[in-house]
Amino acid sequence: MPTKAWALVRSTHPGPSVSVTVLAAILSWGFSLGATEAIVVVLSVLLNQFSVGLSNDAIDAARDREAKRGDKPLVAGEISLRSVWVWALVCGVASLALAALLHPGVLIAQTVFLLAGWGYNAGLKATVWSALAYAVGFGALPAIISYGASPAGFPPWWTVLIAAGLGIAAHFGNVVPDREDDEAQGVRGLPQRLPATPAAIVLSVLIMVMSAVLVVGAGEQALPVSLTSGIIAALVAIAGGIFAIKRPNSRAAFRASILAALVLAAGLTGSLLLAS
C-alpha cells in the first residue's frame, strides 16, 4: 500500500473504528436486517467512525506536534492536514448518504452519532461532559440499525441504555492509560478528573450494570443467553478493572471494555432473536 494511503488508514483510528463496526454488524443480525440493508448500515457506520477518527487527528494536530506524537501520521509528515480534513468530510458525507438510502430514522440516528463524535473531538473531551458524547453517540447505534429493519421502528429501551452505557465504558477504558499525557495537554474530561482507581472501578461497574440491564430488559424468554453473556461480560470487566488498578498505564481496561462490549452485543443479539 502506498505510504500516503497507509498514513490515511492509520489516521482513521482503525482499531476503534473496526470495533464499533463489528458491534454494528452483530446488532444488524439481532434486528434481523436483510443482507443488503445490513451491508449498507455497516458501511455507513464504518465511514462514520473513519470520519470521527480523521477529524480527531486533524483537530489535535497542533497539540500532537507539541507533544511530539511521532506515532501520528500528521506529526510524522506522512500526510497533509488538508488531506485529513478533506477525507474526514468525505467519509462523513458518504456515511450520511448511505444512511439516507434506508430510512429517515437511520439518517437522523447516524447524524446524531456523527455529531457526537465530532463534538467530542471539537472540545467536549476536555470538559466534564466528555462522557455525554459517548453516551449519546453509542445510544444512537441501535436506532441506526432498527430503523434499517423491516418493519422500521425505534429500538427497545434496554438496547439503547446498554449501548449508551457501553459507550461511556469505552470512553473510560480508552482514557485510563493516557490520563497523564492528556492532563499535560490540558485535556480534562470526566475520566481524567477522577483518580485512576475510581475511574477503573467506574468502568467495571458500568459493564456490570449494563449486564444486569440486559438480563432484565430481554425478559424470561431470552434468559439463557442474556444471563450467560451478562455474567461473562461482568467477569471480563472485573478482571480489566483489577488489572487497570494494578497497572494504571496499561490498556487492559480498554481492551477489556471492548471485549465485554462485544460479549454483551452477542448476548443482546441472541436475546433480540429469542424475544422476537
* 221 shares its domain with 109: no
Tell me: pLDDT of 196 over 80. Answer: no
Residue scoring higher pLDDT (185 or 209): 209
Residue scoring higher pLDDT (252 or 235): 235
Whole-number average pLDDT of the chain: 89
What is the number of structural domains in the chain?
2
Quote the pLDDT of residue 191.
Answer: 82
* 61 shares its domain with 114: yes
Q: From CA 115, how far away is CA 252, in angstroms rounded?
A: 28
Tell me: pLDDT of 143 over 70. Answer: yes
**179 band by pLDDT with thresholds 50, 70 and 90:** low
* 160 shares its domain with 142: no
Residue scoring higher pLDDT (253 or 172): 172
191: containing domain: 156-276
pTM: 0.90
Q: Which of 124, 153, 182 is the last residue of a domain?
A: 153
pLDDT digits (tens, 9 = 90+) for 2-55: 688 999 999 999 988 998 999 899 899 999 999 999 999 999 999 999 999 999
* 219 shares its domain with 238: yes
**176 band by pLDDT with thresholds 50, 70 and 90:** low
CATH of the domain at 143: 1.10.357.140
Tell me: pLDDT of 162 over 70. Answer: yes
* 2 shares its domain with 63: yes
